[in-house]
Amino acid sequence: MVQTLGNAFKSGRIHHAFILTGVRGVGKTTTARILARAFNYVDESGARPTLDLSKEGAHCAEIVAGTHVDVMEMDAASNTGIDSIREINAMTRTPPMSAPYKVFIIDEVHMLSTSAFNGLLKTLEEPPPYVKFIFATTEIRKVPVTILSRCQRFDLRRITPEVMTGYLGGLLEKEGVSVEPEALSMIVRAGEGSARDCLSLTDQAIAHGDGKITTQAVRDMLGLADRARVIDLFEKLMGGDIGGALDDARALYDSGADPTTIIADLAEFTHLATRIKIVPSAAADPVLTPDERSRGAELAQKLSLRVLTRTWQILSRGLGEIAQSGNGLQAAEMVLIRLAYAADMPSPDELIEKLTSQPDAPTTGSAPGMPMPNGGGAQARAFAPVPQSQPQAQPVSQPRAQAVALPDPRSYDQLVALAGEKRDILLKHALESDLKPVTFETGRIEVALTPTANPSIVSALSAKLKDWTGRPWMVTVSTKPVDAPTLREARQAAEQSERNAALEDPMVQAVMETFPGARLVNIKTRSQHDDAEGIVDGFESDSPDMEDDE
């Protein structure tokens, strides 16, 4: 915004309407007043729009105080109707009394009614050269496109934690109020980038702490759980210590933490650990407490991304369960129990990997020593030990597990079946509908493409076959025209042939004549020993005479 307006002021091409959007408390209205000063800046050298406001201009004091006759502010939340817009339209017909421009600041502009927006359109489209409009809103999507298209839009971001921490720290120093660093971090985090929210919370914390802001006072004021205790609870859950986790959760509840807050704080720490695992520099966030910074990085290194994402899913689902439950504490405890049991449970692919990596692992699922899923936490063993009553196998005589045999299609039909087994629906559809087999040998396939086929399917098929079979496959496209049908076309032709044969059957024809409106819906083939080509399985009819017949 500074760059855009600075260049506009230099060139003298200043737009007539601006819209500022952003969350609450990021300075939209304050910025609008600063822009009004910038438009109407006058010093001893004359009127000149500028962003350098270090020296107070002739109109600056009145604009800041809100008493300047040529700068008008309107709250659209309390002036939503067309009458207020008519007053603005009337005022635009007269030039400013003392300042270079008449500036209209409309706050929460999205609250205007449809008729009010329509009444503003004409003036906004062709305003007098001495009029500037500045709109502010937190709901930019509720502003009609016809208004937005006539404005220069500037999105004001949330205030960063670093800036907000320095801002609040400077104010408290001027006020002579001592504050603990962790307490200040809690306020900044709760403010969510809004200066107004942070100021309100800071003022409340000063009153709550009787002139001194402490971590415990802010925690009690916000109803937060102790961050260190939340991390202790998280560690016990990840370690499978269900009893200790329930005791910690009960202690947090007894100290005033809401069950929803406990689960939400666990989810927040899970997100933090996941973020640090992916972006290690996230641990340097100044809003984090020392415990979150150090222990979060440590847990992010220990826990896998799979465990963290599964933990997040369980906690997120648990928040909904607590909201719907009549007893929030009981619902929260059930969430914690589920989380503790699932924390170290291996996924199916991890279990298979552990199975195949054990040289002495038996091939049957009921034999002693079978690897079992671990639902009891990190301290539990992932595999059950061999019972001492069973004779121990000698390593020298125990045969090693055989390598898993890879599929090796011997025909085009087997290739289509392999694609189905691998659940590659797109490739299976292409093999049936877009490719025509010409020759098929182990490691080499020649096909013809239909006019609608995607040429990239050839390289994709070669890559898939190499992954599935463990050997390279050469897939080539025939340069000669091929009249043979695709598998789908051949199957459809066979089905149509069976249908035509069935319709020519005398018995079928007799049924169709007896029950007008009957339709042949299915054909089933008899077993080969019946020595018959087919049998009609069912009819449908619109005739009431056939309601009980088939």
CB 169, CB 53: distance < 8 Å: no
As a whole number of Å, the CA-based R_g of the chain is 37
Q: Which residues pair with 518 in a beta bridge?
A: none
Tokens of 492: 């459809």
Predicted confidence pLDDT, tens digits, the chain (550 residues): 899 999 999 888 899 999 999 988 999 999 999 999 999 999 888 888 999 898 898 999 999 988 999 999 999 888 888 998 999 999 999 999 999 999 999 999 999 999 999 999 988 988 899 999 999 999 999 999 999 999 999 999 999 888 999 999 999 999 889 998 888 988 988 888 899 999 999 998 888 877 789 888 887 787 666 778 888 999 999 888 888 899 989 988 887 778 998 999 899 999 999 999 999 888 888 778 777 888 889 999 888 888 899 999 999 999 999 988 889 889 999 999 998 888 766 666 665 666 566 555 444 444 333 344 444 443 333 333 334 444 444 444 444 444 456 678 888 888 898 888 888 888 888 888 888 888 888 888 888 888 888 888 888 888 888 888 888 888 888 877 788 888 888 888 888 888 898 888 888 888 888 888 888 888 887 654 444 444 455 555 554 444 444 4
Angle at 249 between CA 243 and CA 250, to 5 degrees: 90
User: Which whole-number Å values give the CA distances from 96 to 18, 102, 103, in the listed order?
Assistant: 19, 5, 9
* Residues sharing a CB contact under 8 Å with residue 206, sequence separation 6 or more, in sequence order: 175, 177, 213
Phi and psi, residue 422, nearest 5° = -80, 0
CB atoms within 10 A of CB 290: 12
Give exposure, 177-214, as e/b (b: 16+ Cβ within 10 Å).
eebbebbbbbbbbebebbbebbbebbebbbebbeeebb
User: Which whole-number Å values give the CA distances from 487 to 109, 341, 408, 490, in the listed order?
Assistant: 63, 49, 20, 5
Measured distance CA(264)–CA(251) in Å, rounded: 16
Predicted TM-score (pTM) of this structure: 0.52
**Going from the N-terminus, what domains does the chain have, and what CATH number goes with each?**
2-155 (3.40.50.300), 161-222 (1.10.8.60), 227-342 (1.20.272.10), 412-477 (3.30.300), 493-546 (no CATH)
Measured distance CA(433)–CA(10) in Å, rounded: 65
